[in-house]
Amino acid sequence: MTQHSEIKEALLFTHRIAQLSKAVWKAVEKDWQQWIKPYDLNINEHHIIWITHHLKGASVSEIAKFGIMHISTAFNFSKKLEERGYIIFSKNENDKRNTYVRLSEKGEELYSNLVETFNKNESSIYQAALPLKELFGKFPTLLELNGMVHTLYGEDFMNITEHSLVNINEEFEEVDGNLKTKKDFNPTRTERILK
C-alpha cells in the first residue's frame, strides 16, 4: 500500500515540474535559436531587444527581471548590442542612479524584421499546442503554471506578456499569412510602460 507522505509528494511534484519545465524550455530554446539564426543574435540578445521594445525603454535591472537573467548577463549583452548599434544607453532624468537603454532606429528595425519573419510552422511549441487547440477550441491557458509564476515572480512580470499582446496588435497586421508592420504605425514612442 502507498503510504501518504507530504515529503514524498513534494519531492515527486518538484521532480515532475523539473522534467516538464526543462522539456518545454529546451524546445522553446531550440525554436528561438532557429528563428533568430539569420540575424546573428543569441537568445539573451533578442530577449533584451524584445523587452526594451515592449517596455519602450528599460533599465538594466528591469531587463534582468523580465528576461529572467543575471544582471551581469543583461548588462554585458546590452553592451554588445550597443556596439552593434541596436541599443542606446542613457541616464534617466528622474533617476540618475540607474542605466537605461532604448532601441536605436536600427534596433527597432531588427525587432520588426524578426516579428515579420516569425513562421508558426517552424515553432514546435505551437505545433505541440495545436491538438489541444483542436480539442478545447482555444490555445492552452496554462492557468496553474500562470498561478505558480505569479507567486514566484509577481504582478509586473505577468503583465509584460500582456503589454506585448497589446503592442503587437497595434503595430502589426496579417498580410498573406505573415505579420507586416502597419503602414500608419508611428514607432516614435517616448512614454515608458513602467512608471
User: Smaller CB distance to its own copies: residue 105 or 116?
Assistant: 116
State the minimum distance, in angstroms, from the CB of residue 51 to its own copies.
10
Q: Are 87 and 81 in contact (CB under 8 A)?
A: yes
Helix, strand, or coil (residue 192): coil
Judged by CB under 8 A, the residue of 72, 148, 185, 187 near its own copies is 148
Judged by CB under 8 A, the residue of 94, 151, 188, 190 near its own copies is 151
User: Smaller CB distance to its own copies: residue 115 or 194?
Assistant: 115
State the minimum distance, in angstroms, from the CB of residue 33 to its own copies.
12
Part of the chain binding its own copies (CB under 8 A), chosen from 72-80, 88-96, 98-106, 139-147: 139-147
Q: Which residue has the cell 542605466?
A: 99
Q: Which residue has the cell 517552424?
A: 122
Instruction: Kindly identify the residues of this chain, within the stretch 60-119, that bind its own copies according to CB under 8 A.
Output: 68, 115, 118
121-125: Cβ within 8 A, 24+ apart: 122/31, 122/34, 122/35, 123/31, 123/35, 124/27, 124/30, 124/31, 125/24, 125/27, 125/28, 125/31
State the minimum distance, in angstroms, from the CB of residue 25 to its own copies.
4
Judged by CB under 8 A, the residue of 77, 86, 111, 172 near its own copies is 172
Work out the angle at residue 153's Cα, subtended by the Cα atoms of residues 150 and 156, and round it to the nearest 5 degrees: 80
Q: Which residue has the cell 507530504?
A: 6
Query: How far, in Å, CA of 161 to CA of 158, rounded?
Result: 6
The yes or no reply on residue 131 touching its own copies (CB under 8 A) is yes
In Å, what is the CA distance from 7 to each residue of 12, 125, 173, 176? 9, 32, 51, 54
Query: How far, in Å, CA of 61 to CA of 72, rounded?
Result: 9
Judged by CB under 8 A, the residue of 39, 42, 53, 147 near its own copies is 147
Judged by CB under 8 A, the residue of 56, 157, 192, 193 near its own copies is 157
- Per CB under 8 A, residues contacting its own copies are 2-3, 5-28, 31-32, 68, 115, 118, 120, 123-129, 131-132, 139-142, 144-149, 151-153, 157, 160-161, 164-165, 168-169, 172-174, 177-179
